[in-house]
């Protein structure tokens, strides 16, 4: 819906969009899900993965988190204007919110809202989360990848902050009262808002609206967008296989393995070892960086010899620490 608003709205208009999601980790456009997220844990807790088109880091959405987006003419864009608008909206609920140096909204040093931005040639948008009553326990651990320190990536890393829910500061605030407060402040900031004419409310039962955005929904659900959009990265890991220290380097681009380099740490490879290393490397090139695909590529190689089987098992185990996501 947001992409549709960005493309179809009057270029001179200011549009406020307020929305909520089922439990989802939303990564920024240029982030690495394998480095940012614990995909195994997310799957076990029914937390979805989404990638947005704006920049910035990873955030958590559920029905206790409300999102606001302001779409505006490109020349009207500043990073703090909308965050300040939302802070003022919260002041009306007696919540002492302010905008911090990272353009996020905070209360007493704790982040309640993360911001991200998108700039096109004619339009821009600012969107932010607002943790009202989110299930932060469900989130805990989902943003900690076991392979985080082994992955060197181009792209954007999240900056961790201490977060809190608005519920700690107000017993009465909820999604509806937050939306009403933000709409009022939006009208005061950007111009008169005629609630009767200019405000539309819909949900998943509004099939005509869902139909309008179906194409975009499909596009952002594809593996190509969720995982294939990931900037170039290298996953390095080491261990002991068959009593020998071994090092591996897996290079990945557009979510597919482009090169695998294997070797014994002290250069102890013999001709047979080199042969196995080469077979493993060749089998993995072009494979999606997904455990199931890696397993299927390594299957035939693991039957070549006991050494090959041990190496394949080890490689799969290390890649599974990161790459438990959906198949391509």
Partner 1 sequence: MSFRVLTKSFVSQRLTPSLLHRTFATKKYTPSHEWISIDKNIGTVGITEYAQNSLGDVVYVEVPEEGTEVELGDVVGAVESVKSASDIYSPLTGEIVEANQAVTEKTKLINSAPETDGWLFKVKFTNQEEVDNLLDEAAYKKLTEADH
Residues of this chain that interact with partner 1 (CB under 8 A) are 28-30, 53-57, 75, 79, 102-103, 115-121, 154-156, 231-232
Q: Which is nearer to partner 1, 120 or 222 (CB)?
A: 120
Smallest distance, partner 1 to C-beta of residue 251, A: 14
Closer to partner 1 by Cβ: residue 104 or 321 = 104
CB of 117 or CB of 223, closer to partner 1: 117
Q: How far is the CB of 128 from partner 1 (least distance, A)?
A: 10
* Separation between Cα atoms, residue 83 and residue 89, nearest integer Å: 10
Of residues 124 and 260, the one with the C-beta less far from partner 1: 124
Q: How far is the CB of 315 from partner 1 (least distance, A)?
A: 27
The dihedral built from the CA positions of residue 28, 32, 35 and 39, taken in this order, carries a sign that is: positive
* Closer residue to partner 1, CB minimum distance, 56 or 64: 56
CB-nearer residue toward partner 1: 125 or 169 = 125
Least separation, in Å, of the C-beta of 77 and partner 1? Answer: 9
Smallest distance, partner 1 to C-beta of residue 75, A: 7
**CB of 178 vs partner 1, minimal distance in Å:** 22
């Amino acid at each position: 819906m947001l992409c549709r608003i960005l493309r179809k709205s009057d270029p001179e208009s200011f549009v406020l969009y307020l929305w909520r999601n089922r439990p989802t980790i939303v990564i920024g456009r240029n982030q690495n899900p394998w480095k940012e997220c614990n995909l195994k844990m997310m799957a076990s807790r029914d937390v979805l993965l989404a990638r947005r088109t704006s920049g910035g880091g990873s955030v958590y959405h559920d029905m206790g988190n409300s999102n606001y987006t302001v779409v505006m003419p490109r020349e009207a864009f500043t990073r703090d204007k909308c965050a300040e608008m939302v802070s003022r909206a919260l002041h009306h609920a007696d919540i002492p919110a302010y905008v911090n140096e990272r353009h996020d909204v905070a209360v007493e040093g704790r982040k309640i809202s993360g911001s991200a931005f998108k700039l096109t040639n004619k339009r821009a948008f600012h969107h932010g989360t607002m943790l009202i009553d989110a299930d932060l326990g469900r989130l805990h651990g989902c943003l900690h990848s076991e392979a985080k320190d082994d992955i060197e990536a181009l792209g954007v890393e999240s900056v961790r902050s201490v977060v809190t829910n608005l519920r700690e500061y107000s017993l009465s605030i909820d999604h509806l009262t937050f939306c009403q407060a933000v709409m009022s402040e939006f009208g005061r900031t950007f111009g008169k808002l005629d609630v009767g004419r200019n405000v539309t409310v819909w949900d998943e039962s509004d099939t005509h609206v869902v139909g309008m955005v179906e194409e975009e929904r499909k596009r952002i659900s594809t593996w190509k967008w969720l995982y294939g959009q990931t900037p170039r990265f290298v996953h390095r890991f080491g261990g002991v296989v068959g009593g020998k220290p071994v090092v591996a380097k897996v290079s990945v681009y557009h979510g597919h393995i482009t090169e695998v380099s294997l070797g014994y740490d002290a250069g102890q490879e013999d001709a047979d070892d080199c042969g196995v290393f080469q077979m493993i490397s060749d089998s993995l090139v072009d494979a999606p960086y997904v455990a199931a695909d890696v397993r299927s590529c390594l299957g035939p190689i693991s039957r070549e010899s006991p050494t090959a089987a041990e190496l394949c098992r080890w490689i799969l185990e290390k890649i599974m620490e990161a790459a438990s996501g959906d198949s391509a």
